[in-house]
Structure 1
């Protein structure tokens, strides 16, 4: 292994374009050598734009011995199978969340990567954002003291298309999964989930048995409480904020500006506001790919594992049960082979 990891990227939808451009321009430890998409014209256009090889077949990545790793940004139903195929080919893997919309394929994919001895990193980008990392470092150092309360908000500006929502896996897996991972990372393991939800922005969402607004109450195993509020249609912009209250201090993360200025005019004060996650998290998305490439080059563990993805998936399923059965749902978590595993309590 040299000082740069050679990567192929599969899937050139919105996030695929975003990751590909970051790999070429902002990740010094990575070299993007090939992009792949079933849409041959799309693959050709992106290959030409970035100056890399392109093709319509992922086999051209998996069968190339010079490629060290694959970045998986194909539609979610194809994640798990591609993780298994990449593992069998000996490629390290970065995959957007979730691994799958179903439990069994998710477990098989994680086991395949583990058995093959390849690295599997999931795209929980908040773990790489400078603001969140600064907060977690000080929490880990004991400056916050005992955690009493965790509060987080994740709100999109407008509802996506109904076709997207139909294929998203449901509100909790599409949206709240990030907050569940963030809660575990910042505070600790979760013992109980209690969810409430409603479909308010578009009547068609209720018609497909989904929601667009949710409140989720958490109870952590250290005794702390938590609450997450999530919305698909906040209207004013994109918000992703978190607050952790402790016995010694409180930390708040709520930077949503493109420019750090206040505009003052007669009788008013205004600031700008980001419209989506790509504007809020440019550094985090670059950092997660750079860190993955460094893990490949340095042969070290990745910072967000397949087991982290499985834990977040179980918490999403617990929230779904809570919503539909209108009750709190208990979780069991335990360590096996050095990895935390989650189950819904009987």
Structure 2
């Protein structure tokens, strides 16, 4: 069976997902919609598909599933409308910028019983997935300390920062998901951050440099380091210390060539950005969604996972604002 897929959003991430859809013979991209008509037309022309309105897509029974890669403020409504229309849903993070709204979406999805999956692509990176497999198999004993590093090569425009929901909801949400995926949900969150890179980011009420500590009821600790600027490239590393060993993932480099001379030893920089670093992960992620729809396997990144990551981001924002650890049990609505 081949699923007919409609794409919401024709921007940078929409183009990535369009390529992933095209790479799997079990899916056929048939329509795209975007508020930016020019972007929608360009993507449609590139893939030989139609530009259609959101209402038209959602009311068409021939469309089996939708991939939501539009602006964040559209995600919650589109998930609910698509699920109500009987379609399977894949949605980019986050569900919404408001935790209560995200929880309502999760309840709607649970009641409908249709497959729905969140776009936490780092779970599908082959190296991070190998860490998860080895850790779950007990190869390093009991986990004790988890460290996640995520530095972007350069900050986004301030115009984007103002509508993004801030570093914790926009950037670190991937790292929150990684910690929850590997260690489960913590008991408390402590965050600190500052604006060191671009004063306009600080003026917009956000930070561009942050560290978060997640503490667990059994004493385990996870730390996350984020920066909007790493001049050498896209820095994505992970280290998991267990009672019987260590699992770690280093950066993907532009080249594996290392030159060693009397003058020193030199090698390549990390790959420039997420498109290069995670392209394989996006394809594997999409294949997992198709498995869930066609074979009935559980989605490996659920809407509940999206709620969990957003709850950690909410706790981090409160912690940063109030300068104290925040227990997840104390969040409104918990």
* Bin for the TM-score computed over the shorter chain: over 0.9
Q: What is the aligned partner in structure 2 of residue 84 from structure 1?
A: 80
1-side partners of 2:109 and 2:269: how far apart? 43
| Secondary structure, counterpart of 1:100 in structure 2 | coil
Q: What is the aligned partner in structure 2 of residue 318 from structure 1?
A: 315
Offset at 1:177?
Answer: 0.9
Offset at 1:343?
Answer: 4.5
Offset at 1:298?
Answer: 0.9
Q: Deviations over 1:245-268 (max 9, x none)?
A: 001110011132133222446624
2-side partners of 1:273 and 1:179: how far apart? 19
1-side partners of 2:26 and 2:257: how far apart? 34
Q: What is the aligned partner in structure 2 of residue 196 from structure 1?
A: 192
Q: Where does the alignment leave 5 or more consecutive residues of structure 2 unmatched?
A: none
2:238 paired with 1:246: no
2-side partners of 1:29 and 1:239: how far apart? 34
Q: Deviations over 1:323-344 (max 9, x none)?
A: 1111111123xxxxxxxxx946
| Secondary structure, counterpart of 1:184 in structure 2 | helix
2-side partners of 1:165 and 1:71: how far apart? 24
2-side partners of 1:66 and 1:260: how far apart? 47
| Secondary structure, counterpart of 1:281 in structure 2 | helix
Q: What is the aligned partner in structure 1 of residue 305 from structure 2?
A: 308
1-side partners of 2:28 and 2:91: how far apart? 17
1-side partners of 2:116 and 2:331: how far apart? 21
Answer with 263-272 or 183-192: which moved more. Answer: 263-272
Q: 1:151-300 residue pairs with structure 2 within 5 A?
A: 151-264=147-260, 267-268=263-264, 269-300=266-297
1-side partners of 2:268 and 2:302: how far apart? 37
1-side partners of 2:300 and 2:193: how far apart? 31
1-side partners of 2:96 and 2:107: how far apart? 14
Q: Where does the alignment leave 5 or more consecutive residues of structure 1 unmatched?
A: 333-341
2:105 paired with 1:109: yes
2-side partners of 1:58 and 1:263: how far apart? 53
* Alpha-carbon spacing, 1:345–1:74, altered in 2? closer, same or farther (3 Å): closer
Q: What is the aligned partner in structure 2 of residue 17 from structure 1?
A: 15
| Secondary structure, counterpart of 1:211 in structure 2 | coil
Q: What is the aligned partner in structure 1 of residue 117 from structure 2?
A: 121
Q: 1:17-166 residue pairs with structure 2 within 5 A?
A: 17-24=15-22, 26-55=23-52, 57-166=53-162
* Alpha-carbon spacing, 1:203–1:294, altered in 2? closer, same or farther (3 Å): same
Q: Deviations over 1:286-307 (max 9, x none)?
A: 1111110121111222111111
1:262/1:271 contact within 8 Å kept: yes
1:242/1:254 contact within 8 Å kept: yes
Q: What is the aligned partner in structure 2 of residue 337 from structure 1?
A: none
* Alpha-carbon spacing, 1:312–1:191, altered in 2? closer, same or farther (3 Å): same
Q: Deviations over 1:151-172 (max 9, x none)?
A: 0101001111000000010110
* Alpha-carbon spacing, 1:30–1:345, altered in 2? closer, same or farther (3 Å): closer
2-side partners of 1:207 and 1:318: how far apart? 22
